[in-house]
Amino acid sequence: MLPTPNSALVLRSSRKAVKFLLDATSKTALTACAERTAIFKAISEGHKHFKAIAVSSDDSGFTPPCGACRQVLIDLAGNIDFIMVNAKQQVKIIPLKVLVPFAFTNKNLQRSKKKK
Protein backbone atom coordinates (compact mmCIF):
# COMPACT_ATOMS: atom_id res chain seq x y z
CA MET A 1 0.00 0.00 0.00
CA LEU A 2 1.53 3.30 -1.09
CA PRO A 3 0.48 6.63 0.39
CA THR A 4 -1.49 9.03 -1.77
CA PRO A 5 0.27 12.22 -2.92
CA ASN A 6 1.17 14.64 -0.13
CA SER A 7 0.60 12.14 2.65
CA ALA A 8 2.48 9.96 5.09
CA LEU A 9 1.88 6.33 5.98
CA VAL A 10 3.43 4.78 9.11
CA LEU A 11 3.99 1.03 9.02
CA ARG A 12 3.72 -0.46 12.50
CA SER A 13 5.60 -3.57 13.60
CA SER A 14 2.32 -5.47 13.31
CA ARG A 15 2.45 -4.63 9.57
CA LYS A 16 -0.67 -2.47 9.83
CA ALA A 17 -0.53 1.14 8.73
CA VAL A 18 -1.58 4.50 10.12
CA LYS A 19 -2.16 7.09 7.39
CA PHE A 20 -2.38 10.85 7.53
CA LEU A 21 -3.09 13.25 4.68
CA LEU A 22 -1.69 16.74 4.82
CA ASP A 23 -0.40 19.30 2.37
CA ALA A 24 2.96 20.35 3.79
CA THR A 25 4.81 23.52 2.91
CA SER A 26 8.40 24.65 3.33
CA LYS A 27 7.36 28.30 3.37
CA THR A 28 6.47 28.51 7.05
CA ALA A 29 7.71 26.82 10.19
CA LEU A 30 4.23 26.89 11.69
CA THR A 31 2.84 23.99 9.67
CA ALA A 32 2.88 20.34 10.68
CA CYS A 33 4.34 18.00 8.09
CA ALA A 34 2.52 14.81 7.20
CA GLU A 35 5.21 12.51 8.61
CA ARG A 36 5.27 14.18 12.05
CA THR A 37 1.49 14.25 12.18
CA ALA A 38 1.28 10.58 11.16
CA ILE A 39 3.75 9.44 13.84
CA PHE A 40 2.01 11.56 16.49
CA LYS A 41 -1.35 10.07 15.46
CA ALA A 42 0.02 6.53 15.63
CA ILE A 43 1.49 7.12 19.09
CA SER A 44 -1.70 8.81 20.33
CA GLU A 45 -3.58 5.66 19.25
CA GLY A 46 -1.26 3.57 21.44
CA HIS A 47 1.17 2.26 18.82
CA LYS A 48 4.81 2.10 19.90
CA HIS A 49 6.78 -0.06 17.47
CA PHE A 50 7.33 0.98 13.86
CA LYS A 51 9.06 -0.49 10.80
CA ALA A 52 8.85 2.33 8.26
CA ILE A 53 7.22 5.57 7.24
CA ALA A 54 6.32 6.28 3.62
CA VAL A 55 5.87 9.77 2.22
CA SER A 56 4.35 10.42 -1.17
CA SER A 57 4.72 13.55 -3.22
CA ASP A 58 3.19 14.87 -6.42
CA ASP A 59 6.70 16.06 -7.36
CA SER A 60 8.74 14.17 -9.97
CA GLY A 61 11.70 14.11 -7.56
CA PHE A 62 11.95 12.51 -4.13
CA THR A 63 10.87 14.49 -1.07
CA PRO A 64 13.04 13.89 2.02
CA PRO A 65 11.85 14.81 5.51
CA CYS A 66 12.57 18.26 6.91
CA GLY A 67 14.97 18.61 9.84
CA ALA A 68 12.19 18.72 12.44
CA CYS A 69 10.64 15.53 11.05
CA ARG A 70 14.01 13.78 11.02
CA GLN A 71 14.55 14.59 14.71
CA VAL A 72 11.02 13.60 15.76
CA LEU A 73 11.14 10.35 13.79
CA ILE A 74 14.53 9.29 15.16
CA ASP A 75 13.35 10.14 18.71
CA LEU A 76 9.99 8.40 18.54
CA ALA A 77 10.48 5.62 16.00
CA GLY A 78 14.21 4.90 15.98
CA ASN A 79 16.08 3.73 12.91
CA ILE A 80 13.09 2.89 10.72
CA ASP A 81 13.08 2.97 6.93
CA PHE A 82 12.07 6.25 5.32
CA ILE A 83 10.26 5.47 2.06
CA MET A 84 9.85 8.20 -0.54
CA VAL A 85 7.39 7.82 -3.43
CA ASN A 86 7.39 10.37 -6.23
CA ALA A 87 4.74 11.31 -8.79
CA LYS A 88 6.06 8.64 -11.16
CA GLN A 89 5.42 6.02 -8.44
CA GLN A 90 9.18 5.44 -8.15
CA VAL A 91 10.30 4.41 -4.68
CA LYS A 92 13.47 5.19 -2.75
CA ILE A 93 14.08 3.62 0.69
CA ILE A 94 16.64 5.10 3.08
CA PRO A 95 17.27 4.07 6.71
CA LEU A 96 16.57 7.01 8.99
CA LYS A 97 20.10 6.81 10.47
CA VAL A 98 21.45 7.68 7.01
CA LEU A 99 19.26 10.80 6.95
CA VAL A 100 20.19 11.69 10.54
CA PRO A 101 23.85 10.80 11.10
CA PHE A 102 25.12 11.44 14.62
CA ALA A 103 21.58 12.11 15.83
CA PHE A 104 20.94 13.56 19.25
CA THR A 105 18.63 10.98 20.85
CA ASN A 106 17.28 9.88 24.18
CA LYS A 107 20.57 8.00 24.75
CA ASN A 108 22.34 11.36 24.93
CA LEU A 109 19.92 12.55 27.58
CA GLN A 110 20.32 9.34 29.59
CA ARG A 111 24.12 9.66 29.53
CA SER A 112 23.98 13.24 30.78
CA LYS A 113 21.60 12.25 33.63
CA LYS A 114 24.03 9.50 34.73
CA LYS A 115 26.83 12.06 35.09
CA LYS A 116 24.88 14.09 37.69
- Average pLDDT of the chain is 79
The catalytically annotated residue of 24, 33, 35, 100 is: 35
* Residue 7, Cβ density class (10 Å: 0-12 exposed, 13-18 middle, ≥19 buried): buried
Give me the number of domains the chain comprises: 1
User: 91 in a domain, yes or no?
Assistant: yes
45 is catalytic: no
- The pLDDT tens digits for 57-110 are 888 999 899 899 999 999 999 999 999 999 899 999 999 999 999 888 878 888
User: 20 in a domain, yes or no?
Assistant: yes
pTM above 0.85, yes or no: no
User: 1 in a domain, yes or no?
Assistant: no
User: 2 in a domain, yes or no?
Assistant: no
User: 72 in a domain, yes or no?
Assistant: yes
CA–chain centroid gap for 37, Å, is: 9
The pLDDT value given to residue 107: 80
Do 22 and 6 form a contact (C-beta atoms < 8 A)?
A: yes
Q: What are 81's strand-pairing partners? A: 52, 95
Domain, as residue range, for 86:
7-115
